[in-house]
Chains A and B, each alone.
Chain A
């Protein structure tokens, strides 16, 4: 198994600032926008972006929620292992709001497909966008593309993209791991 660094902490930081600015460009004061981190791994990115928007770009009262899609997945009973759920925390309705899904890696698009169904339990959003730190090209099973992307990579199937966060793993780092 070999590992290659895709993004260093410094690069992750620059990308986060760019993504924050792109969000501001489209959502201005965020009064009608809700950021939704997709559990489990999109939570860290969503929290980081919300903090950045509030502290560095002085946007007040970002509405942030976390959505778990376990019970909406299309592979229930199809894998070897049972699916394990995470906490959903959405304390507001998304009716007529602009929703931004935030996840660390976009791969097959199936999680996003499940999230699009899951979010309807909380109302009918006026629109839904997708922000992802890493966009794995050529690996999509569904016609789903991000609106905001940190970095696009051409990873093949036996390669795995690993995103580490300071809050969880002690450092910001993105790696590509190849199974031999």
Chain B
């Protein structure tokens, strides 16, 4: 019998390869469940989960909520915009107030890196990090790897290029950790201004030419330019960014192989990826969304099984 090595999912950095394997095996079962005529199992009927989102989210929040409901957990959701956080309440106070309503698990998104880790150390509940600043977004990396495994059979030995705004991206960091842990090779590609200094120290090669990066890769994970986080001008114009780092159908057709195209969403159509690429057969973007529910069910189920 297997179980996770951790009680919280703070980041991929803090888990092991065996945890990823267990999450994927469990997600396989849940993927079968969510394709049944009735897509619900009663496992977590005595678990209450709070989704605490201090930052905007559509996909992740819906995906977590759906995963929790498919597992029959009771769910309360909370967005900072409508909460007492605006009145000056601290993070621990907010969460402890929620927990005194007998909540067993907290899924949190927060703008500050380390917020999930901080919470895990200070409150009595199982914590799932749904994104903390530019630090980690572990469930996104897990569902990305799960989708690669589904599309190409295995993650080990595959070549993955992450394209775009690596500097502000928690998805990039979690993906680098997850992919390397599973034996994939990772490169990053983007404007120098949007690549973190010393990114090579993570064992990641930098490729500044998109065509060369795609010629090398089996999978391209296209990241969004996070305009809301760009405090200064990192590149001259969106048009110039698109010319250098946008993936078009012509570019993909000119390669002598088929690269799997991924995108964590939301897509800026016409910026990092054109519409015909996003909607093409090579794109697994909607598979990522479907797998997101199965993977989040697996993570939630496995962490819940450790709550005593």
Chain A residues with CB under 8 Å of chain B are 68, 70-73, 76-77, 81-88, 93, 117-118, 120-123
Contacts and interface: CB of A to CB of B under 8 A. Distances in A.
A92 to B, nearest CB: 11
Contact of A122 (B37, B40, B41, B43): B37
A143 to B, nearest CB: 20
A71 B3 contact: no
A71 B32 contact: no
A81 B308 CA distance: 12
B304 interface: yes
Contacts of B306: 82
Contacts of B71: 71
17 contacts: A70-B29, A71-B29, A71-B301, A72-B43, A77-B304, A77-B307, A77-B308, A81-B3, A83-B1, A83-B305, A84-B1, A85-B26, A85-B29, A88-B33, A118-B41, A121-B39, A121-B40
Interface in B49-73: 71
A71 B33 CA distance: 10
Nearest to A74: B42
Nearest to A86: B29
Contacts of A121: 33, 36-41
B198 interface: no
B42 A88 contact: no
Interface in B3-55: 3, 25-26, 29, 32-33, 36-44, 46
B86 interface: no
B305 A88 contact: no
B305 A77 contact: yes
Contact of B42 (A68, A117, A122): A117
A15 to B, nearest CB: 31
A82 B2 CA distance: 7
Nearest to A123: B37
Contacts of B26: 85
Contacts of A70: 29
B29 A87 contact: yes
Contact of B36 (A73, A87, A122): A122
Interface of B: 1-3, 25-26, 29, 32-33, 36-44, 46, 71, 301-302, 304-308
B244 to A, nearest CB: 46
Contacts of A77: 46, 304-305, 307-308
A72 B29 contact: no
A51 B41 CA distance: 31
A96 B42 CA distance: 23
B243 to A, nearest CB: 48
Given A71-B33, A85-B26, A76 B38 contact: no
Nearest to A80: B1
Contacts of B1: 81-84
Contact of B41 (A71, A81, A84, A87): A71
Contacts of A122: 36-38
Nearest to B43: A71
B303 to A, nearest CB: 11
When A and B form their complex, which 10 residue pairs have the shortest distance between CB atoms, in order from nearest? A71-B41, A121-B38, A81-B1, A85-B29, A82-B3, A121-B36, A71-B43, A82-B305, A76-B43, A84-B1
A87 B28 CA distance: 9
A71 B37 contact: no
A65 to B, nearest CB: 12
A84 B2 contact: yes
Nearest to B72: A71
A121 B29 CA distance: 14
A3 to B, nearest CB: 24
B305 A72 contact: no
Nearest to A89: B32
Contacts of B305: 76-77, 82-83
Given A82-B2, A121-B36, A72 B42 contact: yes
Contacts of A84: 1-2
Contacts of B301: 71
A123 B37 CA distance: 7
Contacts of B307: 77
A83 B1 CA distance: 7
In this complex, which of A71, A81, A87, A122 has the most chain B Cβ atoms within 10 angstroms of its Cβ? A71
Contacts of B2: 82, 84
In this complex, which of A72, A82, A88 has the most chain B Cβ atoms within 10 angstroms of its Cβ? A82
Contacts of A117: 42
